[in-house]
Structure 1
Amino acid sequence: MRERSVLAVTPVSDIKSAGVVGGSLGGLFQAVALAELGVDVTVWERSAGRPDDRGAGIVLQPSVAWFLSTFCGVDPDRISVPVTHRQFFSRDGRSHHTLMEQRMISWGAIYASLRDRLDSARYHDGQPVTAVTPRPGGVDVHVGDAVHRVDLAIIADGSASRHRGLVAPDGAPRYAGYVAYRGVIDETELPEGLSAVFRDRFSFYDGDRTQFLCYFIPGDFGATAPGSRRANWVWYVRADAAGLDRITTDRDGTAHGLSLPPGLIAPQVHAELLDRARTLLPEPLRLLVEHTRDPFAQAILDGRVSRMRKDRRLLTGDAAFVVRPHTAASAEKAAADAITLFTALQQLPSLEAALEAWERNRLAEGNALYRHGVGLGQRLGLNSPSSAAAAAGEATP
């Protein structure tokens, strides 16, 4: 446990206990913030074990940086990698640059900072929640044969949420018609000279209905010194429903649905990815793909809800709005969900007023990000005709 933050907080009398369904970033942001308010928080995570630190990169946005600094006592600059320019490649491998200072972080660095801040006794992995049922003045969270009575339940079990429909039956995400292939490479394993090509750069290549981007993220244990970082890349590729099923079916024939974890890509799918890279990508980006041992993939989804609370059950993070990665806002949105709830609970006179203000704020932000992501996909030519038509025809909740 780190030292407590310097926030001046007022305990929330209406909420003494909270249960968080899902222990990834969305759930951890909420758990850490509620614990800071003096709430007795318990987190239940379906998966067992601590995730590998070799996950995807994330653009460090203001709410995440503020949360890490204020609630976790972590200097975000120490666990992120700076970039000074954006680099745009043409098909022949030439590039031009524009000034754009940003910082890049890894999913694992954020996760570790949040887990280290939360008392380990509050976090229970390998324990799926089977039901979240309301009762007068609170919620019952069912885990195995046990029923845990809490004053507030936070549903934070991600884009494939099993409990979203309890609050918002209209919110199931829809496939947008393309996938993101991803890869992470230790800097020491890059071909000679390639590190210098991407140093201090957030690099992009926009092709015909495709986009590729890459940047450095921290290495093991948040290491950020040159030579100890990792190159992180993302490649957006169109795929119909049958293509998605093929991409996310692993080497043993097991279908994974909407994502494929590292190390499981089928040989034929991997060979086709390499062929596509040799045909379509500028040489520096092709080399990244060729030198990635374990590429992984995820379906790009659109999901939004018309409400984020029902009685004392709240949706947060990707269990509420699933926004496209082009927005660089998934972690930022989850952190802002937690910060806004923390602030509302402290400043407003009643629990009902706090939850109403929180929902109003987060619905507005979620809808804006949803529309922004769909618009970016359209400008890149990535939207499938069905996803574009469906998004255009929806009324704003």
Structure 2
Amino acid sequence: MLAVTSLSDIKSVGIVGGSLGGLFQAVALAELGLDVTVWERSSGRPDDRGAGIVLQPSVAWFLNMFCGVDTDQVSVPVTHRQFFARDGRSHHTLMRQQMISWGAIYKPLRDRFDSVRYRHGQPVDALTPRSDGVGVHVGGAVHPVDLAIIADGSASRHRGLVSPGSAPRYAGYVAYRGVIDEAELPEELSAVFRDRFSFYDGDRTQFLCYFIPGDFGTIEPGKRRMNWVWYVRADAAGLDRITTDRYGTAHGLSLPPGLIAPQVHTELLDRARRLLPQSVRELVKHTREPFAQAILDGRVSRMRRDRMLLTGDAAFVVRPHTAASAEKAAADAIALFTALQQIPSVDAALEAWERDRLAEGTALYRHGVGLGHRMGLNGLDATPVAGRAS
């Protein structure tokens, strides 16, 4: 455990949200010897839905340094990028990357953090600034902390306390997603995508896919999962229709696996038959439970108000084309850990952290919007999402 002699006025930290953004911060700050408590509104360990993530340097470094994880053992390597034409032909370029799943990142972080200090099923009702820190209101009780970190994601309930008027906006398209056990794929189809990060860029649409770890993080060939994402334009009415489940319940910004309405599923399969090359079309066909999420744009003008900080998607919501959501959250935590270690004044450390992370978040935000524009995905809608379910 590292001693923090210069930070005697910060001893306790409260973190609002216990997903990746909150856990990166919790693990790093606990390593500094601080008393960290996480309040997570959902109950139990979440289902990772098998979602795939491109493993980026900050995430890999964090897992190795703070959790002792050899990321080569929990990620699937690819050697090439593969680009499909509409007629099914493809070409390749050499590009080595590693692919990981959301769960393979979450599990070591969650296992590393003291389970007694992780309060699941306890939503934070309010945060109130105090002369000596922040009051965290949970279930009628007020917990005083020296530093509060807001890490409750893109639909943050507390973002406005730090950066008013910064609710994300719907970008005008959705990402359909699917995960398939490798064993369920015909061998000839599986071979098409092996060791490849594959893309199809069509008219105002994009499809991409790659293998990720399977159950229990296995990366053994034959036991992995195929992860695919398909970006499709949809106006606000279309988004509402896509994210209303088979029972008529509206989910707002996302649709969990297993709940897609039969008519929406039929239309997805028909769209795949009409628009996608055969190989990637087969992946959609073999997916039992496709799910969906709205693509959002979110940026803040500040990430700090006194002793309250924004981190991860509660600060900047960047488009998934950047492959940077988890990377950004890990970098936020690494930067705060470093600033608190190296800068004797707490206020100076927090100011330096905010300056660095605002610049990085703004650059990523602009990069993602630019990528969406180049693919012709922007422009159908651009509406605030405050008040929608997440």
So what's the TM-score if we normalise by structure 2? 0.96
* Cα offset, 1:15, TM superposition: 1.1
Deviation per residue, 1:205-240 (Å, 9 max, x gap): 000000000000000111001011000000000000
1:145 and 2:140 aligned: yes
Pick one of 53, 75, 82 that aligns with 1:58: 53
Which residue is 1:110 aligned to?
A: 105
Which residue is 2:193 aligned to?
A: 198
Pick one of 9, 19, 22 that aligns with 1:24: 19
Gaps of 5+ in 1: 391-397
Letter in 2 for 1:314: L
1:164 and 2:167 aligned: no
d(CA) in 1 for partners of 2:369, 2:237: 22
d(CA) in 2 for partners of 1:272, 1:384: 22
* Cα offset, 1:296, TM superposition: 0.4
Letter in 2 for 1:148: H
d(CA) in 1 for partners of 2:300, 2:181: 38
d(CA) in 2 for partners of 1:272, 1:386: 21
Which residue is 2:128 aligned to?
A: 133
Decide whether the 8 Å contact of 1:170 with 1:306 is kept in 2. no
Q: Assess, with a 3 A threshold, how the Cα gap between structure 1 residues 9 and 384 changes in structure 2: closer, same or farther.
A: farther
Q: What pairs up with 1:246-261 in 2 under 5 angstroms?
A: 246-261=241-256
* Cα offset, 1:9, TM superposition: 5.6
Q: What pairs up with 1:38-53 in 2 under 5 angstroms?
A: 38-53=33-48
Q: 3-state SS of the aligned residue for 2:187?
A: coil
Q: 3-state SS of the aligned residue for 1:193?
A: helix
Decide whether the 8 Å contact of 1:165 with 1:171 is kept in 2. yes
d(CA) in 1 for partners of 2:338, 2:216: 31
Pick one of 10, 17, 23 that aligns with 1:15: 10
Decide whether the 8 Å contact of 2:137 with 2:143 is kept in 1. yes
1:362 and 2:361 aligned: no
Decide whether the 8 Å contact of 1:179 with 1:300 is kept in 2. yes
d(CA) in 2 for partners of 1:380, 1:53: 28
Deviation per residue, 1:46-85 (Å, 9 max, x gap): 1111112433100000000000000111111110000000
Letter in 1 for 2:241: R
1:120 and 2:108 aligned: no
d(CA) in 1 for partners of 2:70, 2:143: 35
Q: What pairs up with 1:371-386 in 2 under 5 angstroms?
A: 371-384=366-379
Deviation per residue, 1:211-270 (Å, 9 max, x gap): 000000000111001011000000000000000000000000000000001111000000
Decide whether the 8 Å contact of 2:180 with 2:286 is kept in 1. yes
| Farther off after superposition, 9-18 or 94-103 | 9-18
* Cα offset, 1:146, TM superposition: 1.3
Which residue is 1:81 aligned to?
A: 76
Which residue is 1:188 aligned to?
A: 183
Number of aligned residue pairs: give it. Answer: 383
Decide whether the 8 Å contact of 1:53 with 1:220 is kept in 2. no
Q: What pairs up with 1:243-322 in 2 under 5 angstroms?
A: 243-322=238-317
* Cα offset, 1:386, TM superposition: 5.2
* Cα offset, 1:387, TM superposition: 4.1
d(CA) in 1 for partners of 2:114, 2:14: 14
1:329 and 2:329 aligned: no
Regions of 4+ moved over 3 Å = 8-12, 385-388
Pick one of 171, 179, 203 that aligns with 2:174: 179
d(CA) in 2 for partners of 1:9, 1:361: 24
Gaps of 5+ in 2: 385-390
* Cα offset, 1:101, TM superposition: 0.3
| Farther off after superposition, 47-56 or 97-106 | 47-56
Deviation per residue, 1:164-190 (Å, 9 max, x gap): 000001210000000000000000011
Identity over aligned pairs, percent:
83
Q: 3-state SS of the aligned residue for 1:91?
A: coil
* Cα offset, 1:354, TM superposition: 0.4
Q: 3-state SS of the aligned residue for 1:377?
A: helix
The Cα RMSD (Å) is: 1.3
* Cα offset, 1:96, TM superposition: 0.4
d(CA) in 2 for partners of 1:367, 1:247: 30
Letter in 2 for 1:215: Y
Q: What pairs up with 1:231-242 in 2 under 5 angstroms?
A: 231-242=226-237
Which residue is 2:388 aligned to?
A: none
So what's the TM-score if we normalise by structure 1? 0.95
d(CA) in 2 for partners of 1:134, 1:27: 20
d(CA) in 2 for partners of 1:311, 1:229: 46
d(CA) in 2 for partners of 1:385, 1:276: 18
